[in-house]
Structure 1
């Protein structure tokens, strides 16, 4: 299903205690499939309790570059779920992991 040039990265964060995501998963997870040759996000999934949320998050990320500095602003201006902050933190965690992975692969 995914090209040999893709890698899978998980970013995680704590969701608010009152959030149904916390009750179901205990954490907030953002899974990204990224083309390591160009940084393009090929697929994404998150620990959401509503499928519409997953599809909306996909619409924000798929086709964008993982290092795109405007992605955080877009999350903050478009995603108003109670897990907004957790999504941003999980994304930043995934970005950090991507940088570590690509640095290791290039040495």
Structure 2
């Protein structure tokens, strides 16, 4: 399904105690499939309890470059679910992993 040049990266964060995601998964996870050659986000998934959430999260990430500094801004301006802060932290965690991986391959 994914080309050989894609990589899978996850980021995680704590979500608030009263969040259904915390009750179901204990943490918030964001998973990204990224094209190693250009950093384009090919696919994304997250720990969510509602399918609509996953579809909306996909609309924020897919097709963008993982290093796009406006992604965090889009999350804070468009996503008003209870895990908004956790999503930002999880994305930043995944971004650090991506940067470490690409630094090794240079």
Normalised-by-shorter TM-score class: over 0.9
Instruction: After TM superposition, give the deviation of residue 7 of structure 1 in Å.
Output: 0.1
Instruction: After TM superposition, give the deviation of residue 105 of structure 1 in Å.
Output: 1.7
SS in 1 for 2:43: strand
Match of 1:67 in 2: 67
- Equivalent residue runs for 1:86-105 within 5 Å: 86-105=86-105
Query: Is structure 2 residue 35 aligned with structure 1 residue 16?
Result: no
Match of 1:85 in 2: 85
What is the alpha-carbon distance in structure 2 between the residues aligned to residue 90 and residue 20 of structure 1? 17
Q: Over the residues paired in the alignment, what is the CA RMSD in angstroms?
A: 0.4
Question: TM-score normalised to the size of structure 2?
Answer: 0.99
Query: Is structure 2 residue 25 aligned with structure 1 residue 25?
Result: yes
Structure 1 ranges of 4+ moved more than 3 A: none
Query: Is structure 2 residue 46 aligned with structure 1 residue 51?
Result: no
Gap runs ≥5 in structure 1: none
Question: TM-score normalised to the size of structure 1?
Answer: 0.98
**Alignment: residue pair count:** 106
Instruction: After TM superposition, give the deviation of residue 104 of structure 1 in Å.
Output: 1.0
What is the alpha-carbon distance in structure 2 between the residues aligned to residue 14 and residue 80 of structure 1? 17
